[in-house]
């Protein structure tokens, strides 16, 4: 089974605007997600320029950027993806 | 997680840096409040229009202006920018300003009966009130405020938690009673009393107390380069950003600084000289000496207990020593101190040694605005890395530890102990149990410590340390007790912020 790719922006803008907790994601991940998610820290995703600055911090989940990310919103998104996968497997 | 107030402050700083780099500040500044709070967006206050009005004052403070000095309400931010852009010196004291449009005018400290009151049968509030100020009207307790003495007994005895204390967070946080209300009920700072500790700035839930930033001044000086620009970085910075100290220094240099210096190098001098000063004072018969590196504490003594000043160490702070180190190399250098502290802005101005002060928030915003990531940087080469003790100055008890280590360093303590010159001692002063005549710092005469010499033996004076870890309303009375000699301590370390500078008002709070 392919793992979900979670990329956390470690750019200074995201860091300044609240990503410090996201950067500790590895330790916060619930047991049931551990085997299913691959976390990497990545340099600035370059999506924080111009007006989208007020939507930082950003993370990328399976290549899709998510704005105003919190640990909770990221968990929610992972849960959705895993449920979708299970549905597809059972079909 | 960061608070909404921190988010807004940092977002505005990052926007300012980006517009500065694009050369668009004069035309775009007045549009920022609208861009941040568009008419269809969410409001933090009653409506986006109130938010925008407050944002204008936030930007004024970010340009280094005092909101209290507004004479023409119609003045544009572009107008303020012109004045700020033209100034050649940092905006001076006071470092704080109050945005009255943002102040909620919190009601005075009081006890209030809430809807949780069930008008119970036992009525402990009524029976416990020492002034008979509580009666039950229509099955609900009522406080007669003409009788209430705000003792809080009713709150403590209510089984339903129906009585609450209302607070004025800024007034409660201020350790010196410097905040009062103006005729309209909005907060006002009495700068005769203020010690610039920044506790109100942190406490206000409306973020109505703001610091006057020097961000624009530093951006300008890095662009115009009137001379070499050196950054002096406080040791509390090391735990702030992801990445190593060496990477952080490279990131700072990429902002345009010609040199990046550890303030901890200054801390080494502070520590060594403070140890020396302590020994001299103790041998001179003084009972007590306190640290002097926390500028909010020094202001507390100067403004509220001047008689205590005799006990405060005269040794300059690490920031001043580090600035001197920079100036020894290049007298014309522009020195920018980077730290977590508001009171340092006052100390910098008073000392004349430091030209500008940046906070970690401002530093982070500069790096964010220019997309400089600390963790992607090559390590900076620290030619002379500061010692661990000096870097620990930023933590509570760190200064004392460092001074203690310097006091007991094998200068004469070791020599005296064994009666022989310690071979490893840095400044051997005893030869064969006798004072070496050639020694630089003779301290032992006829095998005994002589009290009169310049560097008396450390071992004769036991350092009995006491710590004030965070200044609050009780601090002044603690100092008074110490002054009266009611405490055996002879060395007092004071940090205005609990835990030390690492928890300074402008730190990023990363654990």
User: If you average pLDDT over residues A58-69, what whole number do you get?
Assistant: 91
Put residue B119 in one of left, alpha, beta given phi > 0 → left and psi -120 to 50 → alpha. Answer: left
Collect all residues with Cβ–Cβ distance below 8 Å to B340 and sequence separation of at least 6: B234, B236, B237, B240, B359, B360, B501, B502, B503, B504, B505, B506, B507
Task: Provide the number of structural domains found in chain B.
Answer: 4
CATH classification at residue A11 = 3.40.30.10
Backbone angles phi, psi at B447, to 5 degrees: 75, 5
> Residue B403's pLDDT is what?
85
pLDDT at res. A21: 84
For residue A52, the chain B residues in CB contact (below 8 A) are none
Same domain membership, residue B483 and residue B342: yes
pLDDT at A32 over 90: no
CB nearest A18 (choices: B2, B369, B374): B2
Residues in chain B within 8 Å Cβ distance of A13:
14, 368-369, 371
The answer to whether residues B336 and B253 belong to one domain is yes
- Tell me if B372 and A10 make a contact (CB, 8 A cut-off): no
Q: How many CB pairs under 8 A join A and B?
A: 60
Which residue is it, tokens 């402008």?
A: B506
Give me the numbers of helices (H) and strands (E) for chain A, helices first please.
Answer: 4, 4
What count of other Cβ atoms lies within 10 Å of the Cβ of residue B254?
A: 13
Provide, as residue numbers in chain A, all residues whose Cβ is less than 8 Å from the Cβ of B364. Answer: 12, 15-16
Tell me: do B196 and B271 sit in the same domain: no
Question: What's the number of domains chain A is made of?
Answer: 1
Q: Where are the beta strands (DSSP E) in B170-244?
A: 179-181, 187-189, 209-211, 229-233
How many alpha carbons fall within 13 Å on the CB side of residue B142?
8
Pairing state between β B289-290 and B491-495: parallel
d(CA B178, CA B289): 27
Q: Tokens representing B300?
A: 């507390």
Instruction: Name the 3-class secondary structure at B188.
Output: strand
Instruction: List Cα–Cα distances, B370 to B19, B147, B337, B363, B373, in angstroms.
Output: 11, 60, 20, 11, 9
* Helical axes B4-22 vs B48-62, angle rounded to 10°: 60
Predicted pLDDT of residue B87: 94
Distance CA B431, CA B99 (A): 67
Say which residues have a Cβ less than 8 Å from residue B213's Cβ, sequence separation at least 6: B13, B61, B62, B63, B64, B362
Write down the pLDDT at residue B402: 86
Cβ pair A18:B7 closer than 8 A: yes
Is residue B25 domain-shared with residue B87, that is, in the same domain? yes
Task: Identify the pLDDT of residue B69.
Answer: 92
Cross-chain residue pair A17–B375, CB shorter than 8 Å? no
Domain limits for position A54: 4-90
pLDDT of chain B, 511 residues: tens digit per residue: 788 899 999 999 999 999 999 999 999 999 999 999 999 999 999 999 999 999 999 999 999 999 999 999 999 999 999 999 999 999 989 999 999 999 999 998 899 999 999 999 999 999 999 999 999 999 999 999 999 999 999 999 999 999 999 999 999 999 999 999 999 999 999 999 999 999 999 999 999 999 999 999 999 999 999 999 999 999 999 888 888 999 999 999 999 999 999 999 999 999 999 988 998 888 888 999 999 999 999 999 999 999 999 999 999 999 999 999 999 999 999 999 999 999 999 999 999 999 999 999 999 999 999 999 998 899 999 888 898 888 888 888 888 888 888 876 544 443 433 333 334 444 444 444 444 444 444 444 444 444 444 444 444 567 888 899 999 999 999 999 999 988 888 899 999 999 999 999 999 874 4
Written as six digits, the tokens of B84 are 């700020």
Q: Which residues of B touch A (CB under 8 A)?
A: 1-2, 7, 10-11, 14-15, 18, 35-36, 241-242, 361, 364-365, 367-369, 371-376, 508, 510
Both B204 and B316 in a single domain? no
Residue written as tokens 């990429």?
A: B254
Q: Whole-angstrom Cα distance, residue B114 to residue B99? A: 30
To test the contact with chain A by mutation, choose from B2, B240, B362, B377 the residue with the greatest count of A C-beta atoms within 10 A, namely B2
Same domain, B148 and B21: no
Q: Going by DSSP bridges, is the β-strand pair B229-233/B448-449 parallel, antiparallel, or unpaired?
A: unpaired
Same domain, B252 and B389: yes
Measure CA B244 to chain center: 23
Question: Which tokens belong to B401?
Answer: 């530890």
Give the bridge partners for B142, in sequence order.
Answer: B135
d(CA B491, CA B287): 9
Structure-token pair, residue B425: 């001692």
Domain CATH code at residue B283: 3.40.50
Tokens of B409: 């360093």
CB-based contact B371 A51, cutoff 8 Å: no
Q: Which of A8, A10, A15, A16 to mutate to probe the B interface, most B CBs <10 Å?
A: A16
Structure token digits, residue A12: 């200074």
* pLDDT score, position B248: 95
Which residues have C-beta within 8 Å of that of residue B230, sequence separation ≥ 6?
A: B257, B258, B259, B260, B261, B326, B330, B333, B334, B335, B336
Tell me the shortest Cα–Cα distance from A68 to chain B, in angstroms.
Answer: 12
Regarding whether B100 and B46 lie in a shared domain, the answer is: yes
Q: Give the SS3 label for residue B12.
A: helix
- Spell out which residues of chain B touch residue A21, defining contact as CB-CB under 8 Å: 1
Mind telling me how many Å the CA of A38 is from chain B's nearest CA? 20
Asked if B371 lies within 8 A of A16 by C-beta distance, the reply is: no
Distance (Å) of CA B442 to CA B32, B275, B376, B406, B454: 66, 17, 52, 17, 8
Which two three-digit tokens encode residue B489?
């301590």
Residue B259 is given by DSSP the state E
Q: List the single residue in A with minimal CA-CA distance to B369.
A: A13
Residue A15 and residue B2: Cβ atoms within 8 Å? no
B415 versus A12: which is more confidently predicted? A12
Q: Identify the CA nearest to B407 among candidates B272, B256, B257, B235.
A: B272
For residue B250, list its beta bridge partners.
Answer: none
In terms of domains, do B374 and B263 share one?
A: yes
- Domain membership of residue B178 (yes or no) is yes
In the predicted model, what is the mean pLDDT of chain A? Answer: 86
Asked if residue B510 is part of any domain, the answer here is no
Residue B383 pLDDT: 86
pLDDT of A36 above 60: yes
pLDDT value at residue A42: 87
Q: Inter-chain contact B368–A23, Cβ cutoff 8 Å?
A: no
Q: Are residues B420 and B389 in the same domain?
A: no
The enclosing H or E element of B468 equals strand B465-469
Q: Which residue of B has its CA nearest to A47?
A: B371
* Residue from the list A15, A21, A49 with its beta carbon closest to the beta carbon of B1: A21
Instruction: Tell me: do B48 and B196 sit in the same domain.
Output: yes
Residue B509 lies in a domain: no
pLDDT at residue B408, rounded to an integer: 67
The phi and psi torsions of B199 (rounded to 5 degrees) equal -70, -35
Q: Provide the CB-side half-sphere exposure for B152 (13 A, CA).
A: 6
Is B477 a member of any domain? yes
Q: What is the pLDDT of residue B288?
A: 92
B287 and B355 fall within a common domain? yes
- Cα distance between residue B396 and residue B498, in whole Å: 7
Range of the domain at B63: 4-105+171-212
What CATH number is associated with residue B125?
Answer: 3.30.70.20
Give contacts of B1 with chain A, Cβ < 8 Å. 18, 21, 70
């Amino acid at each position: 089974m392919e793992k979900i790719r979670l990329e956390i922006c470690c750019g200074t803008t995201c860091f300044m605007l609240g990503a410090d907790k996201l950067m500790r994601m590895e330790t916060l991940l619930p047991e049931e997600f551990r085997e299913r998610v691959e976390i990497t820290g990545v340099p600035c995703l370059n999506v924080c320029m111009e007006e989208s600055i007020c939507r930082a911090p950003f993370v990328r989940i399976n290549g899709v950027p998510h704005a105003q990310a919190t640990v909770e919103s990221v968990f929610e998104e992972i849960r959705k993806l895993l449920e979708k996968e299970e549905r597809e497997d059972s079909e | 997680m960061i608070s909404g107030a921190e988010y807004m402050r940092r977002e505005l700083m990052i926007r300012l840096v980006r517009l500065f780099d694009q050369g668009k500040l004069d035309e775009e500044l007045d549009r920022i409040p609208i861009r941040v709070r568009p008419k269809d967006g969410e409001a933090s206050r009653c409506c986006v229009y109130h938010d925008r009005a407050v944002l204008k004052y936030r930007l004024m403070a970010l340009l280094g202006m005092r909101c209290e000095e507004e004479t023409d309400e119609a003045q544009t931010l572009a107008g303020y920018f012109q004045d700020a852009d033209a100034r050649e010196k940092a905006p001076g004291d006071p470092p704080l300003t109050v945005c009255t449009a943002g102040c909620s005018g919190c009601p005075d400290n009081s006890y209030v009966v809430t809807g949780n009151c069930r008008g119970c049968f036992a009525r402990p509030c009524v029976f416990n009130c020492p002034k008979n100020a509580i009666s039950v009207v229509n099955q609900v307790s009522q406080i007669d405020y003409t009788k209430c003495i705000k003792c809080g007994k009713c709150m403590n005895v209510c089984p339903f938690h129906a009585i609450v204390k209302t607070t004025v967070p800024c007034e409660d946080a201020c350790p010196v009673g410097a905040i009062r209300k103006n005729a309209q009920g909005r907060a006002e700072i009495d700068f005769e009393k203020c010690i610039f500790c920044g506790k109100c700035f942190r406490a206000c839930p409306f973020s109505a107390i703001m610091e006057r930033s020097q961000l624009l001044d530093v951006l300008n000086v890095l662009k115009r380069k009137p001379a070499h620009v050196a950054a002096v970085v406080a040791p509390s910075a090391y735990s702030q950003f992801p990445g190593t100290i060496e990477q952080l220094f490279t990131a700072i240099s990429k902002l345009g600084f010609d040199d990046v210096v550890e303030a901890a190098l200054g801390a080494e001098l502070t520590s060594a000289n403070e140890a020396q000063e302590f020994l001299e004072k103790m041998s001179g018969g003084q009972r007590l000496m306190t640290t002097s590196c926390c500028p909010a504490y020094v202001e507390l003594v100067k403004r509220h207990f001047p008689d205590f000043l005799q006990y405060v160490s005269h040794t300059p702070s690490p920031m001043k020593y580090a600035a001197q180190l920079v100036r020894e190399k290049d007298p014309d250098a522009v020195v920018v101190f980077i730290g977590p502290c508001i009171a340092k802005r006052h100390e910098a101005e008073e000392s004349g040694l430091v030209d500008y002060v940046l906070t970690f928030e401002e530093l982070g915003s500069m790096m964010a605005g220019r997309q400089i990531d600390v963790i992607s940087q090559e390590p900076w080469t620290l030619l002379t890395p500061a010692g661990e003790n000096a870097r620990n100055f930023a933590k509570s008890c760190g200064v004392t530890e460092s001074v203690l280590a310097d006091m007991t360093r094998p200068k004469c303590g070791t020599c005296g102990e064994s009666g022989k010159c310690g071979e490893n001692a840095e400044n051997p002063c005893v030869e064969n149990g006798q004072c070496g005549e050639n020694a630089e710092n003779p301290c032992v005469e006829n095998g005994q410590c002589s009290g009169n010499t310049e560097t008396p033996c450390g071992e004769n004076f036991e350092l009995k340390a006491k710590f004030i870890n965070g200044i609050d309303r009780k601090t002044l009375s603690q100092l008074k007790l110490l002054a009266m000699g009611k405490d055996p301590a002879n060395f007092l370390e004071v940090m205005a912020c609990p835990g030390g500078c690492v928890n300074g008002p402008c730190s990023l709070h990363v654990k």
